[in-house]
Amino acid sequence: MIVKRIFMCFIALIITLTFFSPSVFTSSDCEKCDSRASDIPRDGCTVVIVGKNASVDGSVMTTHTCDCSFCDWTWRYVPAQEHEPGSTRKIYHISQYITWPPEEGLKWEKIKENFTDLEIPQVSRTNAYFHGMFGYMNEHQLAIAESTIGCRPKMKNPTPSAKIDLSMLTLLAMERCKTAREAIKFMGEITGKHGYGFHDDGEMLAVSDPNEVWIFEIMPVGPLWTPESGKPGSIWCAQRVPDDHVSVCPNESRIGEIDLKNPDYFMVSSNVISYAADHGYYDPKGGKPFNWKKAYSPNEQSASSSRGTWVRLWRFFDLVAPSQKFSPDTPNMELPFSVKPDKKFSVQDVMNIVRDHFQGTPFDPVRGLQGGPFENPNYLPRPFKVNGNTYNTARLIGVNRAEYVTVTQCRDWLPNPVGGIIWLAFGAQDTSCFVPLYAGITKIPESFKIGDHWVFDRKSARWAFDYVDFHTQVVYSHAIKEVRKAQEKWEGEATARTATVDKLAHELYKKDPAQAITFLTDYCNSNANSVIDAWWKLGDELLVKYNKLWVYNTKTRKTQRLQYPEWFLRLLVEYDKLVPQNPPKKKK
């Protein structure tokens, strides 16, 4: 029965992976890179990373754009807990992609049905933390952001021998760790012992604390691995981003050559080079230094050669260091790990980066006809076919299928409950609004915890932002102006008053930490609920104002024509061969 159960689980897993797991194209999959560029999946997460000396206020910042379009978007706050000696922690398999109808149960209860049969010793106290699809920040200002990077096909391990998948790994790190280095070592050790993979393959985590930020990349070691082999069940490498640099991970491996003699900037698994040598991914006798990404997740594309599929990496460097004039023709594998930016970045600057649409570049999605008459950057987010030919479109940083977007701030000059902030925006960052969640708060709005793509629910916070986004898409160039005004009011004012909130909370914390926690909790929840109410109202206003593709002025109670650009009208006349209307003859 046990053998049968394992076999049935394996078959079900393969079916699940076939339909739900994202595959990341690497040059090892096929020599015809250009011919397959248009087939690369477009769902994936963009992570922006800012060292503390590259930010205007000394914050360490990371972002996570959870690009999926059908995943669970709910959020949770998990309080700190004390545990009895000898107690254990059950390990569950958690798919990033599978959801259930609301009437069947919420995801974070349903995952308990996917027990791996592994229980590990529990620690005496687990940290308080916040999580969505992954763990994002805990009470010690340990923060994580994620991006899938893929690996060589033979490295994947979808078998039950891999007990730890990515979501579970981040939750464990949140529960047990205080610093970035501690989290990296812990994640490497537990996956080495119990195996990594199952639902996931190559992944990148930006792991930060108030002092530093690291890029941690982890991959499975193939389906034949077992704990009895005595070999590590994962392979991983971590590189620290210099404090005065910025970096990015747009679903591509970012770590190149590694320096094992510099532990302040590199941490690796024991098999980091030997595994590549054993499997023919690296020749130690070839005279070339070991390169992590070239060994395990190569990608020979550039922004230009992929016709925009792999453009985010180049675009990021183009945005943050334009003086260096990075070329879109440069192979992505040759672009730097990180760069010193031309200017330091505020949290609002980072929010603007994650909304970027490649404006003014050859990959601008509203150039020519693609954006339509209302310059909508969200048309044709994926390749399309005409007469048997496939045509590419650029894969943007700011995409309208995001489940949510985070910007984390870790700040070493404030106590942890005040120093850590998650700025959370539900839905597409372009039309959403970032709201602050301080590390020390003890609850989040109930509306954050519910919602589903297939069931409209006015009690779910996410639907307020989708409501605005939907009405914006129809007449984008007009409606987005209203959205920007709302963002300036609610998001802009929230970022501007952070210093004041920090100061009040810090003063309270010195006198009574509990009082400071209450103050921050009330502030964050009140602000979030006000923003949600404002977005429901904004959605109603957009519906009324642009109803019937006219403009309804609610103040004057008059209507006027919606203006179409002249270039569009000229093309319409040409394509439809329209004939000018002759003016009416004057009566004699």
Half-sphere exposure (Cβ direction) of 423: Cα atoms closer than 13 Å: 26
Q: Is the model's pLDDT at 217 over the cut of 70?
A: yes
Residue pair 527/423 in contact (Cβ under 8 Å)? The answer is no
Read off the pLDDT of residues 257-300 as tens digits, 9 standing for 90 and up. Answer: 999 999 999 999 999 999 999 999 999 999 999 999 999 999 99
Other Cβ atoms closer than 10 A to 269: 22
Encoding tokens for residue 317? 């460097």
Rg (C-alpha) for the chain, rounded Å, is: 25
| Planar angle of CA 89, 521, 415, nearest 5 degrees | 75
CB 465 within 8 A of CB 426: yes
Residues 112, 401: Cα–Cα separation, whole Å: 28
* Token reading at 518: 């209450």
CB distance 365 to 312 below 8 Å: no
pLDDT at 382: 86
Residue 43's pLDDT is what?
58
Using pLDDT thresholds of 50, 70 and 90, give the confidence band for residue 587.
Answer: confident
Look at residue 130 in the predicted model and tell me its pLDDT: 98
pLDDT tier for residue 42 given thresholds of 50, 70 and 90: very low
Per the DSSP assignment, residues forming a β-bridge with 143 are 137, 208
CA distance 250 to 313: 6
Rounded Cα distance between 362 and 340, Å, is 24
Output the six-digit token pair for 288: 């070339």
Q: Is the whole-model pTM more than 0.95?
A: no
Task: Flag whether pLDDT at 242 surpasses 70.
Answer: yes
DSSP conformational letter for 241: P
pLDDT digit string, tens, across residues 154-188? 999 999 999 999 999 999 999 999 999 999 999 99
Q: What's the confidence (pLDDT) of residue 586? A: 75
Query: Does the pLDDT of residue 532 top 80, yes or no?
Result: yes
* Degrees, nearest 5: CA angle 219-220-224: 160
pLDDT at 20: 35
**Segment 449-470, tens digit of pLDDT:** 999 999 999 999 999 999 999 9
How much is the average pLDDT of 208-225?
Answer: 98
Planar angle of CA 475, 481, 487, nearest 5 degrees: 125
The pLDDT assigned to 486 comes to: 98
420-450 per-position pLDDT tens digit: 999 999 999 999 999 999 999 999 999 999 9
Q: Which amino acid is it at 395?
A: R
- CA end-to-end span of the chain: 100
The answer to whether 429 and 398 are in contact (CB under 8 A) is yes
Q: What is the pLDDT of residues 385-400, one digit of tens each?
A: 999 999 989 999 999 9
Per-residue pLDDT at 305 exceeds 80: yes
- Residue 6 clears pLDDT 50, i.e. is over it: no
The b/e string for 369-393 (b: 16+ C-beta within 10 A; e otherwise) is eebbbbbbbbbbbebeeeeeeeebb
Q: Of 368, 378, 383, nearest to 402 (Cα)?
A: 378
Looking at residues 66-83, what average pLDDT do you find?
95
Can you tell me the mean pLDDT for 43-69?
Answer: 94
Q: Which of 15-19, 29-33, 100-104 has the highest mean pLDDT?
A: 100-104
Is 123 in contact with 78 (CB distance < 8 Å)? no
Dihedral sign for Cα atoms in the order 535, 137, 217, 331:
positive
pLDDT at 125 over 90: yes
pLDDT at 588: 66
CA 415 distance to own-chain centroid: 27
> What distance in Å separates the CA atoms of residue 411 and residue 58, rounded to the nearest whole number?
7
Q: What is the pLDDT of residues 373-387, one digit of tens each?
A: 999 999 998 889 999
Which pLDDT does position 122 carry in this prediction? 98
Query: Has residue 3 got a pLDDT over 90?
Result: no
Average pLDDT over residues 67-76: 93
Bin 50: left if φ > 0, else alpha if -120 < ψ < 50, else beta: beta
Degrees, nearest 5: CA angle 139-112-151:
75
Beta bridge mates, 560: 551
Question: Is residue 11's pLDDT more than 70?
Answer: no
Phi, psi of 488, rounded to the nearest 5 degrees: -60, -40
Question: Per-residue pLDDT for 558 more than 60?
Answer: yes
Q: Enter the DSSP assignment of 307.
A: T
Mean pLDDT of 477-485: 98
Provide the H-helix boundaries in 302-442.
312-320, 347-353, 416-419
Of the chain, the percentage scoring pLDDT greater than 70 comes to 93
Q: Residue type for 286, please?
A: G
Rounded CA gap, 20 and 4, in Å? 24
- Statement: residue 16 has pLDDT above 80: no
Distance, CA of 421 to CA of 498 (rounded, Å): 10
What whole-number distance in Å separates Cα of residue 511 and Cα of residue 527?
24
| C-alpha dist (Å) from residue 470 to 9, 74, 562 | 39, 20, 18
Asked if residue 401 has pLDDT above 50, the reply is: yes
